[in-house]
A and B are shown apart, each in its own frame.
Chain A
Amino acid sequence: AQKITQTQPGMFVQEKEAVTLDCTYDTSDQSYGLFWYKQPSSGEMIFLIYQGSYDEQNATEGRYSLNFQKARKSANLVISASQLGDSAMYFCAMRVAETSGSRLTFGEGTQLTVNP
């Protein structure tokens, strides 16, 4: 079975500073994908960034980067230059090979608040 752990229920950051949201995962599969989603208060889930288990370089998408440490089974999201609009719930998720229907397993989420 797969499991995602997000140990920070809430995080606060000052506008324009960087923030790291933690995510650890557990799986016995060698091939998997890791995703981060943003959920504003309105409820929709917005895809941010993806990291494959065989990718040698950390993924980056604009102000988002994923600090992937395979041996430690961690996939932390780094948001640089935080903006007020970054205030939202952030979910880490994992997807393993098609044997399980390629379902996403989600963590409990981290509520990020960006202060002016």
Chain B
Amino acid sequence: DGGITQSPKYLFRKEGQNVTLSCEQNLNHDAMYWYRQDPGQGLRLIYYSQIVNDFQKGDIAEGYSVSREKKESFPLTVTSAQKNPTAFYLCASSRHHIGYQPQHFGDGTRLSIL
């Protein structure tokens, strides 16, 4: 079955450490997105990518970095510059970056500080 796979499901970060969240899709979608969700709140866009080797900052990009070397993969690195990284991170993809195709989501990664 096609879908979006996020790993790991749970992740713990030590102070000063960078961690990378994995997002892989086999839907042949062009566009991919990373969102952050804090408890009791909606989703906020961190980064998005419309095509391979291209990505754009979203609303809360500070302290995060991404790459898009392959169509299927869009990893998110939470750097030590992100002072409050504890949150639920969701990756999404859509067929195109234009139009109104729905975004499909992975199951998320919960990141906590040790």
Contact A104 B45 (CB under 8 A): yes
- Flag whether A102 is at the interface (Cβ < 8 A): yes
Instruction: Tell me which of B48, B100, B107 contacts A103 (CB under 8 A).
Output: B48
Give the docked Cα–Cα distance between A102 and B92 (Å). Answer: 13
With A98-B97, A101-B97 in contact, do A91 and B43 touch (Cβ < 8 Å)? yes
Closest B residue to A97 using CB positions: B98
* Residues of B with C-beta under 8 A to A35: 102-103
Interface size of B in residues (CB-CB distance below 8 Å): 29
Bits for A86-116, please: 1 = Cβ < 8 Å to B, else 0: 0000010001011001111011110000000
Q: Which residues of B contact A (CB under 8 A)?
A: 31, 33, 40-45, 48, 50, 56, 58, 88, 90, 92, 94, 96-100, 102-108, 110
CB atoms of B48 and A109 under 8 A apart: no
Residue in chain A with minimal CB distance to B109: A43
| A1-42 contact mask (Cβ, 8 Å, vs B): 1 or 0 | 000100000000000000000000000000001010100001
Given contacts A43-B107, A101-B56, contact A108 B41 (CB under 8 A): yes
Q: Does B33 lie within 8 Å of A98, measured CB to CB?
A: no
Specify which chain B residues have a CB less than 8 angstroms from the CB of A101 in the assembled complex. 48, 50, 56, 97
B102 is contacted by which of A47, A91, A98 (Cβ under 8 Å)?
A47
State whether A108 and B42 are in contact (beta carbons under 8 Å apart), knowing that A43-B107, A101-B48, A102-B31 are contacts in the complex: yes
| Least CB distance, B21 to chain A, in whole angstroms | 14
A33: chain B residues at CB < 8 Å are 100
